[in-house]
Amino acid sequence: MSMDGVTGVEAMVRCALFLDVQLGAEILGIGRSGLDRANTCTMETTGKHLAFWIILDGGFIFLRAQVLDSCDPPEALFSTGDTTAG
């Protein structure tokens, strides 16, 4: 999936469409706090057994996961820089 230099909320919407169409993931929401930077947003999605949070924050991408119906906080899986190359 090419992002063609897209960042922020627009990149998250494209990611949500890809996850929904290609993987059948259920997208619960996309948003950001009013106090966050303009290029920061979070997407919540669920799979069969896990809940996922994909976070774009200041040029970085973070992925967190949690077992559904768990009281434990989401576990950080990885993070990487977000560049115009995708």
Number of domains, the chain? 1
Please report which residue ranges of the chain form alpha helices under DSSP H.
8-23
Give pLDDT tens digits for 44-60. 999 888 999 998 887 78
pLDDT at 2 over 60: no
Within a domain: residue 48?
Answer: yes
pLDDT at 81 over 80: no
Residue 66 sits in which domain range?
Answer: 8-81
Q: Where are the beta strands (DSSP E) in the chain?
A: 26-31, 41-46, 50-57, 60-67, 75-81
Average per-residue pLDDT for the chain: 83
Within a domain: residue 14?
Answer: yes
pLDDT at 8 over 70: yes
**pTM for the complete prediction?**
0.76
- Position 7 scores a pLDDT of 72
* Whether 82 contacts 56, CB under 8 Å: yes
Within a domain: residue 26?
Answer: yes
Within a domain: residue 12?
Answer: yes
Whole-angstrom Cα distance, residue 6 to residue 14? Answer: 9
pLDDT at 22 over 50: yes
